[in-house]
Structure 1
């Protein structure tokens, strides 16, 4: 029994580990998307003539793009919190598994 606990602790394919990895990957993708949106906003803001930027439709599109950038960044920040919580849970499980593995057999 002791051997199984140690073996399962070393398996990175467990759902908790997978969830931590996936949230980290999604957060990274959101960070990239937010940066790309920010770059797009900056380029459009500097490239478009003022008369075009003041046009109703273009102004709404620029504002909407900025709002989307903020939402994407907020989602990335929230995923960081989830990733941190998952990391805490992984650490706690590993601690408990080590504790169980070190106990003498009953």
Structure 2
């Protein structure tokens, strides 16, 4: 990359998601979720039935759960997680509770 002087700019955002690299991150600290369960490889523990992490209402899918894997698994995990999030939100709106994974 070539540095271009005076090319800095700011973008207002409601949410910024950090793209994680190949080295394990300290995810509980990074996401300010000390109860977040992680493996020795730095992947997030989830309940595979609900796709929920040990943090209530927080879901995870893809490489952050499996480690580096095939894109088709990431797509499938994302769809499964979206379906489970929808079920979770609907249950919450009905006043039902679900245990975290």
Higher relative contact order (CA 8 A, sep 6+): 1
Structure 1 length normalisation: TM-score? 0.30
Higher helix share: 1
Larger Rg computed on CA atoms: 1
Structure 2 length normalisation: TM-score? 0.31
